[in-house]
């Protein structure tokens, strides 16, 4: 299946899920009685360097969250985001494997629909492949490499409880990744920092 088709499918799933969530918003938020949560994520995001759009793709992940109070919690998670952009004269393909932690602040903690904001730090192992199709003499070399990057992540969304222990969470996140010590001109096909906006749909189980 082509990347564009997969991205369209994911966007459609997220949209339909949000519509279904709104229809059950009146269900009591009994899940707030539980402090622990395991969750999975699926979403769509893009990656930019300081000059251009490097393409978008589908991301997957999951993690664990714990609430100290009804409003304040922490989470730990791992994610993977693949991205691709074919500009005709060149193609960029990459993948970011991330691990991070963050704090969450929840609003309306007694309701079935709980808005929240999140801030944290992310470390990523970034793999990149750059292919040039420009006919030049000497030719522009193709480049493949990996590097470690890290930085802040912020975001927010709404957690909808759809039963006593289950919740669904549409959210937006923005991640900035950099590491000047691991940047080598001529080896790297991108220029740091990386910026990654993305939309996620998470499903959580609470206990």
Count of domains observed in the chain: 1
What are the strands, taking DSSP E only, across 2-142?
A: 36-48, 53-67, 72-86, 90-106, 113-132
Q: What is the pLDDT of residues 124-160, one digit of tens each?
A: 999 988 887 777 766 777 788 888 999 999 999 999 9
Q: What is the pLDDT of residues 150-180, one digit of tens each?
A: 999 999 999 999 988 999 999 999 999 998 6
Q: What is the pTM of this model?
A: 0.78
CATH code, 61: 2.40.160.20
Domain around 62: 3-206
Q: Which residues of 48-80 are buried (b: 16+ CB within 10 A; e: fewer)?
A: bbeeeebbbbbbebebebebeeeeebebebebb
């Amino acid at each position: 299946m082509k990347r564009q088709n997969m991205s369209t499918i994911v966007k459609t799933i997220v949209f339909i899920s949000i519509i279904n969530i709104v229809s059950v918003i009146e269900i009591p938020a009994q899940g707030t009685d539980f402090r622990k949560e395991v969750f999975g994520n699926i979403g769509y995001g893009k990656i930019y360097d300081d000059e251009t759009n490097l393409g978008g793709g589908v991301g997957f992940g999951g993690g664990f969250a714990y609430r100290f109070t009804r409003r304040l919690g922490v989470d730990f998670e791992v994610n993977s985001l693949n991205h691709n952009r074919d500009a005709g004269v060149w193609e960029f393909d990459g993948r970011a494997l991330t691990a991070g932690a963050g704090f969450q602040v929840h609003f309306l903690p007694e309701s079935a629909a709980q808005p929240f904001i999140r801030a944290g730090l992310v470390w990523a192992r970034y793999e990149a492949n750059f292919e040039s199709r420009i006919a030049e003499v000497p030719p522009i070399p193709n480049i493949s490499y990996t590097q470690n990057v890290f930085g802040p992540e912020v975001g927010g969304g709404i957690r909808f409880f759809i039963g006593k222990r289950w919740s669904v969470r549409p959210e937006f996140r923005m991640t900035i990744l950099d590491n000047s010590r691991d940047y080598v001109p001529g080896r790297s096909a991108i220029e740091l920092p990386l910026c990654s906006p993305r939309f996620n749909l998470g499903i959580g189980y609470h206990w």
